[in-house]
Amino acid sequence: VEMNISSEIKTDNFKLNLKNNAKFIGSVNSRKAEVEMLNTSRANFTGKTKVAFIKIADTANLIAPYWMIENLNIDSKNANYAEVNVQDSLKGNIKNTAKFVYYNDPIRAFKIDKTANVQNKELE
């Protein structure tokens, strides 16, 4: 399944579960977002969210450098890749061989396994 949204989803609570080969491409403007991704699912977000909860596992890919998140809580494990833009606070766990890239300079309170790869970059 592939879902491509050309306009913006504007809602108070946004919830998305992707698994297997599912894809989501779109813009989200919400107060709260919950995203769960498993297996080889892929997502590309833009927009703004006040509080986001992301659970990503297996070989899922989340590419969202232009999704402006104020406060993020992430649970990332196995061989996935996540790329997000966080303004205020970043919490959670990055486990196993997960790769995580975040932009901006949020307050960080997350645990990183020795085998995980975490990078803080400047958005160009």
More confident residue, 2 or 60: 60
pLDDT of residue 85 exceeding 80, the answer is yes
pLDDT of 48 higher than 80: yes
Residue 22 CA to residue 112 CA, distance in Å, equals 27
Q: Average pLDDT for residues 62-77, to the nearest whole number? A: 98
Q: Strand, coil or helix: what is 39? A: coil
Q: Which of 119, 114, 121, 72 is nearest to 97 (CA)?
A: 114
pLDDT of residue 33: 98
CATH number, domain 2-121, options 1.10.645.10, 2.160.20.120, 2.20.28.10, 3.90.1150.10: 2.160.20.120
Q: What is the pLDDT of residues 6-43, one digit of tens each?
A: 889 999 999 999 999 999 999 999 999 999 999 999 99
